[in-house]
Chain A
Amino acid sequence: MNKLIEKQRHIIDFTLSSLWRRKGRNLALMLVYTVVVFSLGSVMFFTQALKNEAALILSGTPEIVVQKMVAGRHELIPVTYAQKIEKIRGVKAVKPRLWGYYFDRITRANYTFMVPEDMSLINNEIIIGSGIARIRVVGRGNALLLRTYDGKPFSYLIKGVLSPDSELLSADLILISEAGFHRLFGISPKNATDFTVTVLNKKEIPTIAAKIVDLLPDTRAITRDEILRTYDAVFDWRGGIIIAILAGAVLAFLIFAWDKAAGLSAEEKREIGILKAIGWETGDVLHMKFWEGMIISLSSFLAGVILAYLHIFTTSASLFAPVLKGWATLYPNFSLTPFISVYQVAILFCFTVIPYTVATIIPSWKAATIDPDLIMRT
């Protein structure tokens, strides 16, 4: 047993000095390898953490949202519909919501306006998201000039800026009073953007949603689960785009790795011949190549994963922000809660470390099975 351990120790020692001999080549290989793992790892960590974050925040969203539909599009809903929905057995409360989007020509960004349920804002008072505060360079006590629906400028008073903690969802948000909302968008007080419905028994959410649509066929009822699924799909889709872009890089890496790891140089073949000639078995050579592949791939993998972790959770994914976060002008500035899925790391490991190690061993096995006497002739 001791001999076996000592033998592996010798082989690892020799592998390390072999790697050092070709340090230029191996460092280049490790660099490319690390970049690939870093990129894939970043996408994986980011989409997963974002989904978790969204799920956490969305858990406080309404159980059912009811929207009026006209020709397949979302339309303003008459507030009288609320009384009809309230009569459905199992419905606890129905609340009208007022929200909408506003395109700001100055910053070329879209803002989301919302009338809060539990905040008392009067007339021209607003509370803005920190993204807007940043982009318009304004803060508490300043005025924000906006154009109303009929093109007239109107000055709103900033009563506060939302906490950066909620920036994932509130970077582009403006909370506004009901009167201010009506003035800005010219919407009649008889209408609301949509309703939120709370129910007595959570298990009945799908049934009540179906009953609402039966009672009011020109509406749609969106449940919380459906919203969560949509968010999942959106972030998966964004992750998918990055993966698709990275696919080229991954392919290039595979070709590079195959060429560097698989294609043994004449010098390496000669060395394998020498080792066999001086008494190494085929198995010893394969052990050496195995350790070589493991050292390169494992250290690159670990470096890539650690860098990806730091990139996502300490620099807020600074490199992927434009695609993954999904805002055009207003990027939310927030820190994600660190979250690592062991399953995903295992998948990443299987797709990088194992193929590389195999790619290293197979050609060496071919070279190691030839008769060592060939070395006598070179």
Chain B
Amino acid sequence: MTKKQTCIFLTVVAAVIAALIVGIVLTDGLYQKEGSIQDAMQDAVLHEGDKISLFGLPVNPGLISAFVVTGVILVFAAIVRIFVIPRFKFVPGKFQMLLEQAVGMFDGLAKSNSPHRNHFLGAYVFAAGAYIFVSTLFELVGVPAVSMAGQSVILPAPLSDINGAISLGCLSYLVILGGGIVSNGLRGVGRTLKEFSLPISMSFRMFGALLSGMLVTELVYYYLALSFVLPVIVGILFTVLHAVIQAYVLTMLTSLFYGEVSELHVKKPKRSRRARGKQEENNKSETEVTV
């Protein structure tokens, strides 16, 4: 490196450092909240202070997020159905391959985990996977809304609302129960009830995972010192990872338990006493020969 290049390099570094310091000074106090961190956390979990009016009904922002996400997904699906699917080719293009990959992945998941009965399960895990994935990524967009108190609220991920997580967890359990009943009747009910903790574990796993991401993000944004570079990692990376992991975990668990309870019961043939006696004699004689 020549002297001139070294000079240019040092000047650039100094300019960047100066700009950052100026930025830090200027932004001091910009992100300071009126309430304490405890209040912010409590609000993020319980949504007591940021209810939104849904036709006069006070609801959590997560429910509004859920409706928005559903609308977005359905509009996207309708556009794809009208403009893309009729032009599908046997040798797929990039977008067709992406769609086929998504459908094929959930269809394959359902088939591999529940070989006996999987048509409905495939559709369910596809919808659930798409919903969890998109609704988690929805957090990144940061759609603003006005709360009933007149404050601005950023719509969170629908599943970071405990009601959303409980509804999806319980619905998955009901789907598993339905699969068990259709395939095995009362035996299926018994098999499903055996896993009575499943709806709670599924609901709270999802709620906890998404909420933790949100809380970490809140925490990071709360303190000025953590507001550089780190939000990119925790905000985007956490969200993307959560989107993929949670979609996979819920669909995988649902498929797994669905397959377990819908597995057809095969009666073991009863052996007669004489046959059993003969078998025992054979075993004895084989043991004696070995000895």
Q: Do A and B come from one complex?
A: no
A interface list, Cβ under 8 A from B: none
Chain B residues at the A interface, C-beta cutoff of 8 Å: none
